[in-house]
A and B are shown apart, each in its own frame.
Chain A
Amino acid sequence: MASANPYKTYLNIWLLLMFLTFITVYAAEFDFGALNVPIALLIASVKAGVVALHFMHLKYEDSMTWIFAIYPLFLLFLLIAFSATDIFTRVAN
């Protein structure tokens, strides 16, 4: 299953990825302070999402595949959230 003209879609996605790469490089020219990493991660996540949806065909898959794709992201969130809770609430002896 894919859209009517997959090659056109793939080309558009590739162009979008190139554009986002350009944005990544351009954003690195500026110092956003504490937002440096979140901004870089946000752009990278959008790129990964587009790749998963189109190149990996997630967009055309059923709900079971979506569950398998989303659940690891939930676990990643837990890993970061719990570790961060420790690190930000730790009191030095």
Chain B
Amino acid sequence: MTDHHDFDKNYLENGKGFKSWFFTVDHKRLGVMYLWAIGVFFVLAAIASFLIRFEHLSPGQTIISAQTYNVLFTLHGAVMVFLFIVPGVAASFGNFLIPLMIGARDVIFPKLNLYSFWIYCAGSLILLLSLAAPVDTGWTFYTPYSIDTGTNVILVTFGVFVLGFSSILTGINFIVSMHKLRAPGLTWDRLPLFCWAAYATSLLQVLATPVVGITLLLLIGERYFGLGFFDPAKGGDPVLFQHFFWFYSHPAVYIMILPAMGIISEVIPVFSRKPIFGYKAIAYSSLAIALISFLVWGHHMFTSGQSKLINIIFSVITFAVAVPTAIKVFNWLWTMYKGSVELSAAMLYSLAFIFLFTIGGLTGLFLGALAADVHLHDTYFVVAHMHYVMIGGTVFGLFSAIHFWYPKMWGKMFDEFKAKIAFTLIFIGFNIVFFPQFILGTQGMPRRYFNYAPEFETLHQLSTYGTWILGVGFIYMLYTLFKPVGAADSNPYRSVSLEWQMPSPPPTLNFKEIPTVTTSTYDYGTKVEQEA
């Protein structure tokens, strides 16, 4: 294997043209293609959100009609959730990093991995075809409206159904890879925390996704054949749809956030020059989240008419899921304590993650409290909470990863100073967009409303101005990333984890010889680090 002709070529140079990429089984190329795909969908859904916010510059109609508004927030939600954030970090960086981090040449089923990507492309295409008669149900497809509306619900839900297979197969691939392909000496308690997070994410993908698949098939059956599962006139129950939907979609929140938490656990020790604090606590808290997240779905349904008893049960368990999440946050903070902290762009995004995700997480507790939720349910408070978790959490985590592994992925460096300016714009813009929405929510501004009362105008305008700053920040970040400033060496951040102990960009087969691991992944401030 040592003299394999592919080995000397890095994965970017090993073949050119559409075919060499679209038919590749190289996990790194697949990771890069997922990154491109989710990037395109992120931009598409972000444009929809800019239009939504622009519409809210003044009460009544500003630029778009009420129906277009309904279509746009559905498009924004469905594309962001199913095409961007669920596959998001797990499929892109999971694919790129897991084999490198566990010391393997690829995932265990490379062809299945390519197949998963094709399914993702097919599902995305089906979902986007619905734009011919765009859906106006919101991304949650709640019955009974999703049964009655004349828009193209079947195409969208079928697209999501197909996408689910991609998610399940990727999850299976990662779980089996981590069980079977870890390098000699890479015991479970030496496994990088990103891998632990990806493992927990994969469990959720494999176990929860089938439920949403079946639920959406039932919805399609309901529309086509009038089955009656969710129709009270036929003995069905519309709230049952919500039970089934959230049984997947709450764990899906952790499918979105857990890989980002894994990224933070990788970035913070490197730029604090300290071993991660509480390795086992962080690793096991990922599994605890995967377990408990299956038990809290009913907190999305406190005002749906579900029983008081089950409301209380779900509320109590919801508070329990905050515990493993808080364990992670405290451990990250403690890792930095007395560390030699370097505020690189990647680190800034990680620090912003901790700050913003904590706000998002804590406001989640407000919503988990029964009495407060009656007031706050379906208001802008929920919109703000969710975006603090999803953008402040997952997207900032993704940006941190894009900057941190940029030298490894592309073999080049970006301009740190410019990246920090972009970060500042994004951080400020994000808070101006979403913090006023917390206040709007507590004042009673309902979500998904085209119009609003005049007293909400100032805060709505502030929120819209924030999107402009945020947009400039995104564009500047892309500009910075597309303008590299020179070649990267193999390990510019002096990380001790496996993926940095190889050339940048990595060779096609990753490792000339499968390495033997003898130390922890986080040996900073020790002899091992000085030798690295």
A and B: interacting chains? yes
List residues of A whose CB falls within 8 A of some B CB: 64, 71-72, 75, 78-79, 82-83, 85-91, 93
State the CA gap A83–B298 with chains docked (Å): 9
User: A-facing mask of B287-316, CB < 8 A → 1, else 0?
Assistant: 000000011011000000111111001100
Q: Is the CB of B307 within 8 A of A83?
A: no
Q: Known: A72-B207, A86-B239, A90-B305. Is A79-B310 also a contact (CB below 8 A)?
A: no
Check B247 for interface membership: any CB of A closer than 8 A.
Answer: yes
Q: Is the CB of A75 within 8 A of B207?
A: yes
Q: Is the CB of A86 within 8 A of B207?
A: no
Q: Is the CB of A71 within 8 A of B207?
A: yes
Check B512 for interface membership: any CB of A closer than 8 A.
Answer: no
State the CA gap A86–B309 with chains docked (Å): 7
State the CA gap A85–B244 with chains docked (Å): 14
Q: Is the CB of B298 within 8 A of A86?
A: yes
- Hey, which chain B residues are within 8 Å of A87, CB to CB? 237, 240, 307
Check B243 for interface membership: any CB of A closer than 8 A.
Answer: yes
Taking A78-B294, A86-B298, A90-B307 as given, write out 7 further A-B residue pairs in contact, using a Cβ cutoff of 8 Å, ordered by the A residue number.
A82-B297, A82-B314, A83-B240, A85-B309, A86-B310, A90-B306, A91-B308
Query: Which of A72, A78, A86 neighbours the largest number of chain B CB atoms within 10 Å of its CB?
Result: A86
Q: Is the CB of A89 within 8 A of B294?
A: no
User: A-facing mask of B309-344, CB < 8 A → 1, else 0?
Assistant: 110011000000000000000000000000000000
Q: Is the CB of A78 within 8 A of B207?
A: no
Check B359 for interface membership: any CB of A closer than 8 A.
Answer: no
User: A-facing mask of B388-403, CB < 8 A → 1, else 0?
Assistant: 0000000000000000
Q: Is the CB of A91 within 8 A of B298?
A: no
Q: Is the CB of A86 within 8 A of B211?
A: no
State the CA gap A48–B237 with chains docked (Å): 28
State the CA gap A27–B307 with chains docked (Å): 35
Contact of A91 among B295, B297, B307 (CB under 8 A): B307
Contact of A83 among B243, B309, B313 (CB under 8 A): B243
Q: List 15 A-B contacts (CB under 8 A).
A: A64-B179, A75-B294, A78-B294, A79-B247, A82-B295, A82-B314, A83-B240, A86-B239, A86-B243, A87-B240, A89-B307, A89-B308, A89-B310, A90-B306, A90-B307
For the complex formed, measure the closest distance between the CB of A93 and the CB atoms of chain B, giving whole angstroms: 8
- Hey, which chain A residues are within 8 Å of B179, CB to CB? 64
- Hey, which chain B residues are within 8 Å of A86, CB to CB? 239, 243, 298, 306-307, 310
Q: Known: A75-B294, A78-B295, A79-B247. Is A89-B207 also a contact (CB below 8 A)?
A: no
User: A-facing mask of B223-247, CB < 8 A → 1, else 0?
Assistant: 0000000000000010110011001
- Hey, which chain A residues are within 8 Å of B308, CB to CB? 89, 91
State the CA gap A63–B237 with chains docked (Å): 39
For the complex formed, measure the closest distance between the CB of A4 and the CB atoms of chain B, giving whole angstroms: 28
- Hey, which chain B residues are within 8 Å of A85, CB to CB? 307, 309-310, 313
Segment 215-271 of B: residues with Cβ below 8 Å from A: 237, 239-240, 243-244, 247
- Hey, which chain A residues are within 8 Å of B240, CB to CB? 83, 87
State the CA gap A87–B207 with chains docked (Å): 24
- Hey, which chain B residues are within 8 Å of A91, CB to CB? 307-308
- Hey, which chain B residues are within 8 Å of A75, CB to CB? 207, 294
State the CA gap A78–B294 with chains docked (Å): 8
Q: Is the CB of A82 within 8 A of B298?
A: yes
For the complex formed, measure the closest distance between the CB of B468 and the CB atoms of chain A, giving whole angstroms: 44
State the CA gap A88–B240 with chains docked (Å): 12
- Hey, which chain A residues are within 8 Å of B243, CB to CB? 79, 82-83, 86
- Hey, which chain A residues are within 8 Å of B306, CB to CB? 86, 90
State the CA gap A78–B250 with chains docked (Å): 14
State the CA gap A21–B179 with chains docked (Å): 38
State the CA gap A18–B153 with chains docked (Å): 40
Q: Is the CB of B310 within 8 A of A82?
A: yes
User: A-facing mask of B172-195, CB < 8 A → 1, else 0?
Assistant: 000000010000000000000000
For the complex formed, measure the closest distance between the CB of A5 and the CB atoms of chain B, giving whole angstroms: 30
Query: Which of A71, A79, A83, A87 neighbours the largest number of chain B CB atoms within 10 Å of its CB?
Result: A83
- Hey, which chain B residues are within 8 Å of A71, CB to CB? 207
- Hey, which chain B residues are within 8 Å of A90, CB to CB? 305-307
- Hey, which chain A residues are within 8 Å of B295, CB to CB? 78, 82
Segment 51-97 of B: residues with Cβ below 8 Å from A: none
- Hey, which chain B residues are within 8 Å of A89, CB to CB? 307-310
For the complex formed, measure the closest distance between the CB of B199 and the CB atoms of chain A, giving whole angstroms: 13
State the CA gap A85–B312 with chains docked (Å): 12
Q: Is the CB of A79 within 8 A of B211?
A: yes
Segment 33-47 of B: residues with Cβ below 8 Å from A: none
State the CA gap A51–B313 with chains docked (Å): 36
